[in-house]
């Protein structure tokens, strides 16, 4: 129980005074135990935090990759649709575009993203 008290640093000064009355060698032992023990405990806590952050980063990277794949698929489908509409217009099968306002906004955004993207 004494070592646990020293490790948690809860009332360690009282334990040091009590141990000093028993033996003079107890002081260096207690101090070294406190320094080494707290170093190990801090390393364990830091290890857990780093592992948690790494897992969170990997999860976020996977979500971003999935989002990127979906976005690329949407861009490819819109490009295919534009190509088909152009072919229909060239053959004279369509007089004007039947795309709604939202679709036209998406097309403008797509063209802007394509120009900005490397």
- 16 phi and psi angles, rounded to 5 deg: -60, -45
* Per-residue confidence (pLDDT) for residue 3, from 0 to 100: 85
Quick one: pLDDT at residue 24? 85
What residue segments make up the domains of the chain, in order of their start? Answer: 2-116
Using CB atoms within 10 Å of the CB of residue 82, give its burial: 0 to 12 exposed, 13 to 18 middle, 19+ buried.
middle
Decide if pLDDT at 60 tops 90: yes
- Structural domain 2-116, CATH architecture: Orthogonal Bundle (1.10)
The token duo for 40 is 């190990």
Long-range contacts (CB closer than 8 Å, 24 or more residues apart) made by 90-98: none
Q: What pLDDT is recorded for position 98?
A: 59
pLDDT value, residue 45: 95
pLDDT in tens, 72-93: 888 888 888 888 888 877 877 6
Report how far Cα 35 is from the mean position of its chain's Cα atoms.
33
> Coil, helix or strand for 96?
coil
Which of these, 18, 20, 23, 21, lies nearest to 1 by C-alpha position?
18
How high is the pLDDT of residue 88?
78
Between vectors from CA 44 to CA 39 and to CA 48, what angle results, nearest 5°? 150
| Whether residue 36 has pLDDT greater than 90 | yes
Mapped to the 3 state alphabet, what secondary structure does 5-55 carry?
A: HHHHCCCHHHHHHHHHHHCCCHHHHHHHHHHHHHHHHHHHHHHHHHHHHHH
């Amino acid at each position: 129980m004494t070592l646990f008290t020293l490790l948690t640093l809860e009332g360690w000064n009282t334990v040091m005074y009590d141990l000093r009355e028993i033996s003079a060698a107890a002081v260096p032992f207690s101090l070294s135990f406190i320094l080494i023990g707290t170093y190990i405990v801090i390393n364990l806590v830091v290890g857990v935090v780093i592992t948690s952050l790494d897992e969170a980063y990997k999860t976020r990277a996977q979500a971003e990759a999935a989002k990127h794949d979906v976005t690329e698929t949407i861009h490819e489908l819109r490009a295919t649709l534009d190509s088909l509409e152009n072919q229909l217009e060239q053959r004279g099968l369509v007089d004007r575009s039947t795309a709604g306002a939202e679709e036209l906004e998406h097309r403008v955004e797509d063209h802007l993203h394509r120009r900005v993207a490397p």
